[in-house]
Chain A
Amino acid sequence: MFATPSILRMFAHPAGSAAAGTTSTGKPPVLKVGKKPGSEIKVSNLNVSIGNNHILKNIDLEIPNNKITCIIGPSGCGKSTLLKTINRLIDDSEKVKVNGEIIIDGENIYGKRVEVTHIRRKMGLLSQRPIPLPMSIFDNITFGCKLHGVRNKKQLKQIVEENLRAAGLWDEVKDRLHAPASSLSIGQQQRLCLARGLAIKPQFILGDESTSALDPISSRHIENLFVKLKEKYGVVLVTHTLRQALRIADYVVFIYLGEVVESGPAKELFNAPKHELTKQYLSGVFS
């Protein structure tokens, strides 16, 4: 399926690429509901450097849809950089060089004629600290949709309710939708940011240590949401708490000093790590 030159798919809409998933004979694709063909993230031979600092080295990865993939590794090993490379937030860093391919929906997101906003819409990002936008709760959710052309008031209201429900925040804020987002607690703000990300109908949720700034209850809440959300989205989480990865990961990627040391299904990697470094990291020799 990926054999199609990516240039042909450059402008392929998600719907268009779904069509591309069927064979030319018109045989219906054998797919689970909600799973779109080609919406895995395929990273090949990725190298990222900032200035003279070679941060990511020869990364090869396939991140599946409808699964939780946890990226683990000691701090400073390049986990955040990898995540930022996946949604091209890295573009704004100074002196950054990205080589290699990241293919999403059959399209190399570092291809020449790719629109960066189009790539970013496919991913909802949840950062370490909740960063609500300086506006009301309601406007936080609708901000992204409005950018992408949704104007209808009724539709916007519906989107707000739907996504606040999905993020488990609706009951807490339904009576004060027009209050400033900054009036929410940190845990609520993080769920608001999640709802805001979901409202742009992404295919992937990216989380960069998204629970590390939260209290244990909010943190567990967000974790449970991730588990629920994987039915509809691919979830990629950077975490440096191994226990969290143990609880929710389907796949695990272990990065050390910018290289993928080992990756695979969570059970295998945790129970029978192949690489010596992984063994040491998992047993807490370093962290």
Chain B
Amino acid sequence: MKLKFVEERIFNLLMVLATLVVFGFFASIIWTIARTGFPSLTWEMVSQLPGGGFYLGKDGGILNAIAGSLMIVFASTLLGLAISIPIVFYINVYLKKASRLAYFARLSFDVLFGIPSIVYGAFAFTIMIFFGLKTSLLGGIIVITLLIIPIFVRSMDEVAKSVSKDLLDAAYSLGATKLESCGVVLRQIAPGIATATLLSVGRAIGDAAGVLFTAGFTDNIPTALNEPAATLPLSVFFQLSSPIPEVRERAYAAALLLTIIVLVLSVTGRLVTGRFSKNRIK
């Protein structure tokens, strides 16, 4: 009796500790970035392109990277959704539970999930060289799309798998075709799709290695798909490697901005997800 009580207390304590460690890391990351970056996070920083000598501590901002990142994330999220949703429906509605194709599809996505983004980048780079393409917005969009498809598919698949067969049967018995029944499943897994989108956006906006060889870097905002595009993570990387302290501070400001964008997206995402869950059947 007594021993059980002690045991309970110890494990309870361990759980609280583990949670606190994570919170601690989160807080200290935010603190480090904010403390160094906040003074440099001026209106000029977010509203202007890099001026001459920006990387030597002179004036200008990182609007090029903000715009490039948002363009790439927006486009690749849409593309990723458009490709992943049909895959998830094919695996879960069209293929039977014990289907070998479904098994291999899931396995492949698990493997793709674990491949580091630098490999995606290198792979895309080889292909781009083969076709004689230069670094461009399009290259960045494609590689980030490839990178987030496994995240999309696997996280939506987990949710779609848990949809009961009875729900499909209910739709079928009303005379719905498979495609029409997918519409029902879509409503049921809408919150899961929203969560998957949040995860993917977070990964997409923060990825540096994938876009390094494919999107390149530029001081301008791209106006066409074949122009190179700057991104926030690379902007952080380049400025952080500068010997000039002022530029390094700006790297923290850029990182802070990146974090704020992810945070805002996550919070709004959570709010929206709540609304999607309204009609879900438990």
**Chain B's nearest CB lies how many Å from the CB of A126?**
9
Closest-by-CB residue of A relative to B163 is A134
**Chain B's nearest CB lies how many Å from the CB of A131?**
4
Residues of B that sit less than 8 Å from A by CB:
96-98, 164, 166-177, 180, 184, 187-188, 278-282
Residues of B within 8 A of A92 (CB): 96, 168-169, 172
* One of A100-108, A157-165, A193-201, A247-255 contacting the partner: A193-201
Secondary structure type dominating chain B contacts: helix
Say whether A148 contacts B166, CB under 8 Å: no
Q: Does A125 contact B (CB under 8 A)?
A: yes
Say whether A134 contacts B173, CB under 8 Å: no
A65-81 CB mask vs B (1 if < 8 Å, else 0) is 00000000000000000
For B164, B173, B176, B180, the residue with the greatest tally of chain A CB atoms inside 10 Å of its CB is: B173
* Contact A120 B279, CB 8 Å, known A127-B169, A131-B166, A134-B187: no
Closest-by-CB residue of A relative to B176 is A147
Say whether A147 contacts B166, CB under 8 Å: no
Closest 10 CB pairs of A and B: A144-B174, A125-B173, A121-B175, A131-B170, A134-B188, A134-B187, A180-B279, A117-B175, A134-B279, A131-B166
Secondary structure type dominating chain A contacts: mixed
Q: Does A181 contact B (CB under 8 A)?
A: yes
* Contact A136 B173, CB 8 Å, known A94-B96, A94-B97, A131-B167: no
> Chain A: how many interface residues by the 8 Å CB criterion?
30
Say whether B187 contacts A120, CB under 8 Å: no
Interface residues of A in 124-160 (CB under 8 A from B): 124-125, 127, 129, 131-136, 143-144, 147-148
Q: Bound state CA distance, A143 and B170, in angstroms?
A: 11
**Chain B's nearest CB lies how many Å from the CB of A277?**
31
Say whether B180 contacts A129, CB under 8 Å: no
* Contact A118 B175, CB 8 Å, known A127-B169, A182-B282, A193-B170: yes
For B166, B175, B279, B280, the residue with the greatest tally of chain A CB atoms inside 10 Å of its CB is: B175
* Contact A134 B169, CB 8 Å, known A94-B96, A144-B175, A147-B175: no
